[in-house]
Structures are given as structure tokens and as C-alpha cells.
Chains A and B, each alone.
Chain A
Amino acid sequence: MPSSRDTPIQVADLSFDYVGRTVLNDIRLSVGAGKIVGLLGPNGSGKSTLLKIIAGTLPGYRGSVQVAGVEVRSFARGKLARLVAMVQQEPEFSFNYSVLEIVLMGRHPHLAGLAFESAADVEIAHAALDRCGILALGQRPIHELSSGERQRVVFARALAQEPMILLLDEPASFLDIRHQVEIFDIVRELAEVQGCAVLTAVHDLNLAAEYFDQVYLLSDRTIAACGSSGTVLNYANLTRVFETELYVDTNALTGKLLIVPLSGRSRRLLAETRAPRRNGGHQDS
């Protein structure tokens, strides 16, 4: 077993039932310090559930889920929140706080009792806003922002939490391509410079190929494949897990995988030409 210092997230034999239905079964996963690990899989394959279990919001699991060497369900809430930050897929804002106030809430686990945020806390929040390119939005009410802007606010809040472990559930689903890249560049910097362990669910396979060190493919409630993104992300695995035809090729610039979805019309075209060799040559890898 690797040490908890090098491997902040260690999951073994994890199963989880939700109202009598098995959502996750026999999951084994680990995320090393300084690594970006991707969770990929079709809708309903249990990615979000797995992230929530590691974040400690679903304590009724079976098996072992260790964060920094301690079983998640035996953590005190406040202590866990100083180690782990999570960007939720569907954040809620029931009252109209300003953007800065929302990001300052990331300091909540670091404050004691009735304390007010110190100048240092505000500094941290401003730095997080600046890093996400939304410093100018600081005084805007959260209800006035677009979905993409809100998503960056939530990400900035997670940064302000200064976590050792960062869990991301579709953090870029509302972002345009430039902001997707900006967010994942920040994620990479967090991992490489600060040694943050990052586990992130995404649907964008090209982002996964470009950024992730390792990938877990979830399918049918369990792990269908795992390993370095270069080996796991291939034509056979992807078409099997996602149950759709894809065009898979190599990115000539980076040598990484290039994945393009095929419409029904394109799939018919493919069947008519019966030229599987044109499909990037990845069928057998």
C-alpha cells in the first residue's frame, strides 16, 4: 500500500447503494499527490457519486475510502473541509451574495467560531478571483451572472479553500473553449506546483487526453479500464464504454489522442465505405 503522503486518495473495495439500487460496485482507485486523474464514463455511471463519497457527503458507503490516510467517514467535517475542496456539478445559490462573498465562503473551514475574514483571507479570495479572470466581477450579485461565470466563481471558491485534494465534477461544462483551457491550465499548475491531488469527472474526451495523467473509465457501476490516459483512451475502450461510434486519430501536434463524435449520417457513411483502416488505425490498440 502506498503511503498516504504520496497518495492522498486511496479507495478500495468501495460499494455504494442508493435506495436499494447499487450505484457503485467494487471500486479501487488512487490519486497521487501532484497528479490529475480523470473519471470518464457515460451518464449515470456513478462518477458524481464517487466524487461525493470521497468528499465525505455520502457517508453510507461500504469498503474503504481514505483521504490523507484517514477513513473519510471518521473525519470531523471541518477538518475534512480544510483538506478537500469540491466543485459541484450543480451549485446552488439561494440568496444573492456578491461574488466576493461567495468566494470568501471558501475560507469558512479555516475560520474559528464567529470570526470575520481577515485581510489575509480577502487577499486569498482576490488572488483566486484574479487567477480565474473574474476579479472584475467581485462586487456583482451572483444571481446576475451567466452559468459560465458562476462556474468560474465556484472554481475560485474551491481555490480559496486552499485544498490538498481537489475534486471536480464537470468543472468546465458551461465554459467556452478558451475558459475550459484556462481552468484546466490552473488545475495543472495546482497539481504540478502545489502538489495538489486532483480527481475530475469530465465528458470532454479531448480535454481528458490533453490534461490527465491517469484515467479511470467507469461503466456499469464499476471500473471498466484504468491506467495512463495514453493507454486507456483508445478506440476500443471508448466505443465499448460509451456505446457509440467515434472517429479516433492522433493529434499531429502533441501526439495525444484526438476524438471526434460521429453523427448518425457519418456513421452510415462509415458503414458504406467499409474502410475501417480510415478510422485512425486505433481499432486494435
Chain B
Amino acid sequence: MVHRTERLTGRRVLIVTLLLAALLALCIGGGIAFGAGTVNFSSLLPGGSLTEVEHAILLQVRLPRVLAAGLLGGALAVAGVVFQALLRNPLADPYVLGVAGGASIGGVVALLLGLGSVGVMGGAAVPAFAFAGALAALLLIESIATVGGQLTVYSILLTGAIFNSFAAALIYFIQSVASLQQLHEIVFYLMGRVPALGYQELAVLALAIVIVDLAVYTMCRDYNALSLGEEGAMLLGVDVGRTKRFTFVLGSLLTGLCVAVAGLIGFVGLVVPHMLRLVIGPDHRLLLPAAFLGGASFLVLADLAARLLLVPNELPVGVVTALIGGPFFLYLLRTRGRNYAF
């Protein structure tokens, strides 16, 4: 493990980032190598050649799936870090501020309208509806939580939590009027799974996530100062009002994208940032890139487990993340928590 040195330097960020990137590469390799279908890897050796089926399994099925898992895991972990910094609470997760509720409503409505089949808009209707729902929730919550031109942490948190309860009730309502077939689709949508995306869709998702992540990274030192409270950060020269607003919007965009594409995959945004803080410390200049790479690795592995555990069936990856993440989190809390607990 990487021990905390005297202070954070660019060199240390580079080393830890490279180590985590290597870990991610290993996870991606594993995610491609293993799966329900069989690939004879001796054919990858010089002189061998992949059959057409093996070629399709590796490049058309597993690789895009693994890349999607990596992108989603990275985005969720970064969203977790960002909301934890904003709310100054390590127990915040990406879904706490209501945008997830909006995205869920959008996706569920699309399914209720029968737009879930691949034939409609090339299968993009559900994510499109869900993302629209996320944006609507974002605007609604921001306008309600802004009091006297200021976005206060309590009002965002309360508005978000209440909006989520409202969204849950609305979804139960929709489920109770849906047909059995639709109900099945809705339940599976909400459970959270890594979708099969084409390379073009992956490229769009990657571009969006990278842009938002870079925008978030410009505020990393402000997040450090924000841990001293809003007044403490102001005293160090941080424009706290602006930072809070941008952070809320950017974190919500990341969350909205993830829920739109993959439903509710829990625990990544909570467990990964916390694990990393225990090991590398809370400085956001290192924590943000580490969270992206760590979250990506975590979800690639969890998705691999989801594919392998019940062959020929698949588990929803959200179930796996919670089943692995929960106990592991508690283990870390018991063993390392004394030094770097919240």
C-alpha cells in the first residue's frame, strides 16, 4: 500500500495514479478474459488465430461491457467524492441529492410507455428519458433549495431527500398500474446493471464523463479548504457560493448520466472514496483521480462477479456491489478506521 508521506506533491499524485491505472488495466484484462462463453486463449499465441465466435465474444461483447463498467464506476466514485466534499460528510452518496430520483422516474416512465424495446430509438429512449428526468430534478431542486440567492447545504440535502422519497412513491405508483411484463422491466431497470453499449455510445459517455471530471478537478483545492467549513473556506479565499453551485450541478450531471445508462448501482460512490481516504488521505488533488480509477476497477470486478456467479444467468451488478462492498467497508472501518475514520 502507498503510505502517506509528509505532504502531497505532483510526483506522488503521478505515482499513485499510475499504480491505480495499472490496477485498472489488470481488472480490465480480467474482465475480458473471463466470462460465460469460452475462449481458447492459446489461439492468442503467435501462430494461433481466434475463431469468429471468439473474436465476437472478446471485442463485441466483453470489451464494450468492461469499458462501460469502468466508465460508470469511475463516474459514480467521483460523484461520491464531490457530494461528500459539498456536504462535508463522508456518508453522502451520489444518490442522496435527488437527481437519482428524477432519473429513475424518467426511465420508468419510458418503460411504462413501452419505449424499452431495442426497436425504439435504437434502445436509447429509456436513457434519454432518464437523463431528461435527471436534468428536470436538478433544475427543480436547485431552484427550491436556493434561498435568498444562496444554495445552503441543509436546504439541498432536505430538498434532495424529500424529492427522492417523492420519486420513490411515484415509482411505486407506476409499478402498481403497470402490466406484469412492464413491472419486470422496471424492477430490473432500477436494480442497476452494466448495459451493453456500442462503441459510439461508449465514446459519447466517455467524453461527457471526462469533461465533467476535468471541470470538477479544477476545484480540488477548494474542496480541501471546504473541509474547514464554509466560513473556514471563505477565510482562505474560496468563492464558496460559486463552488457549491458548480459542484452540485456537476455532481448531479455525473449521477444523472450513470442512472440514465445503468439504473441504481449502489455502494460504489460510498465505499470507494472511503477506502481510498483510509489509504491515501483526504486531499482531493489525489483523491479525485484515484477515485475515478479505483471506482472503475471496483465496478469492472463487481460486474465480472455478476456475470460469473450464476452462469448461465447474470446477477444485477448493484446486488454484487452491495454484497461485496458492505462487508468490506465494515472490515476496513474496524481495522483501519482508527487512523483515518471520519
Contacts and interface: CB of A to CB of B under 8 A. Distances in A.
Contacts of B225: 105, 108
Interface string B1-19: 0001011111001000000
Interface string B198-232: 00000000000000000001101100110111011
Contact of A81 (B13, B217, B237, B283): B237
Contact of A97 (B89, B217, B236, B282): B282
B234 A95 contact: no
B82 to A, nearest CB: 13
Contacts of A96: 277, 282, 339-342
* Chain A binding surface SS class: mixed
Given A57-B235, A88-B232, A139-B6, A94 B340 contact: no
A71 B139 CA distance: 35
Contacts of A93: 227-228
A111 interface: yes
Contacts of B315: none
B185 interface: no
B237 A108 contact: yes
B340 A141 contact: yes
A117 B8 CA distance: 8
Nearest to B235: A86
B16 to A, nearest CB: 13
Contacts, number: 106
Given A104-B7, A117-B7, A139-B6, A95 B237 contact: no
Contacts of B9: 116
Contacts of A105: 224-225, 228, 236
Given A82-B237, A114-B217, A100 B277 contact: no
Nearest to B217: A114
A84 B6 CA distance: 27
Contacts of A80: 237
Interface string B292-334: 0000000000000000000000000000000000000000000
A246 to B, nearest CB: 33
A89 to B, nearest CB: 10
A143 B341 contact: yes
Contacts of B237: 77-82, 108-109
Given A96-B282, A105-B225, A114-B285, A91 B217 contact: no
Contacts of B342: 94-96
A109 B282 contact: no
B177 to A, nearest CB: 44
Nearest to A82: B237
A120 B179 CA distance: 68
Contact of B281 (A94, A98, A106): A98
A221 interface: no
B88 interface: yes
Nearest to B12: A116
A116 B285 contact: yes
Interface of A: 52, 55-57, 77-82, 84-86, 88, 91-98, 100-102, 104-106, 108-109, 111, 113-114, 116-117, 122, 138-139, 141, 143, 161
Given A101-B281, A108-B225, A116-B8, 10 more contacts: A85-B235, A92-B229, A94-B90, A95-B88, A97-B227, A97-B282, A101-B8, A105-B228, A108-B238, A109-B236
Interface of B: 4, 6-10, 13, 88-90, 217-218, 220-221, 224-225, 227-229, 231-232, 234-239, 277, 281-283, 285, 339-342
30 contacts: A52-B231, A55-B234, A55-B235, A56-B234, A78-B237, A84-B235, A88-B231, A88-B235, A91-B228, A92-B229, A93-B227, A95-B227, A95-B282, A96-B339, A97-B281, A97-B282, A98-B4, A100-B7, A101-B224, A106-B236, A108-B225, A108-B236, A108-B238, A114-B220, A116-B13, A117-B7, A138-B6, A139-B4, A139-B6, A161-B236
Question: Which 10 A-B pairs rank lowest in CB-CB distance, beginning with the nearest?
Answer: A81-B237, A92-B229, A109-B237, A94-B88, A78-B237, A95-B282, A108-B236, A95-B227, A94-B227, A57-B234
